[in-house]
Amino acid sequence: MLIKLKNKEYLIVDEFRFKCSIGKNGLKFKKKEGDKCTPKGIFKIGKVYYRPDRVNKPETRLSLKKITKRMAWCDDPYNKKYNKEVLLNKHIKSEKLYRKSSSYNILIVIEYNTKKTRPFRGSAIFIHITENYKPTLGCIALKKNDLLVLLKIIKPGAKIKII
């Protein structure tokens, strides 16, 4: 199964078409940490994270993980845990997954730079929730209901094509 990003504003899966937003500075093959670009390429779809205190367990065949107050995602290129889930720690530069905003109430990891992680190539690239389709820092964002539908229809092993 392939999810396609089309015209920088739609995710297409089979006959479904979801309006979305992408990185503020567009798409880029040679993404760098902090460039506010969404990476171009074909990537596996990873784990789904969700906030059980705010949303019901999503219906999906993908692997699920509950977000806790201590969860974060390392965005420090000098750390060996770069672009991985970590526990909040004042010694590790990271993004909180448990936020006041609703953007990370549900998120899907895009397996960009996650296996053989390369420092400064970008981190924390997710499909997450948007309220207003404002540009992201590099992620792809959908309305909550669209994200829930996407989760129902995609299968393990799915990939996303961002071009």
- pLDDT for 27-71, tens place per residue? 999 999 999 999 999 999 999 999 999 999 999 999 999 999 999
Question: Residue 49 corresponds to which tokens in the numbers above?
Answer: 């994270």
Residue 7 in contact with residue 22, Cβ under 8 Å?
no
Query: In this structure, what CATH number is given to the domain that contains residue 96?
Result: 2.40.440.10
Domain that holds residue 123: 2-162
* CA gap 91, 100 in Å, rounded: 22
* CA gap 13, 24 in Å, rounded: 23
What is the pLDDT, as a whole number, of residue 95? Answer: 94
Give tens-digit pLDDT for 94-119. 999 999 999 999 999 999 999 999 99
Residue 47 in contact with residue 116, Cβ under 8 Å?
no
- pTM of the model as a whole: 0.95
> Checking DSSP bridges between strand 2-6 and strand 159-162, what pairing results, if any?
parallel
> Checking DSSP bridges between strand 159-162 and strand 41-50, what pairing results, if any?
antiparallel
What is the pLDDT, as a whole number, of residue 49? Answer: 98
* CA gap 71, 92 in Å, rounded: 12
Q: How many domains is the chain partitioned into structurally?
A: 1
2 has pLDDT over 90: no
Average pLDDT over residues 4-25: 92
Give tens-digit pLDDT for 112-144. 999 999 999 999 999 999 999 999 999 999 999
Q: Phi, psi (5° rounding) for residue 151?
A: -60, -35
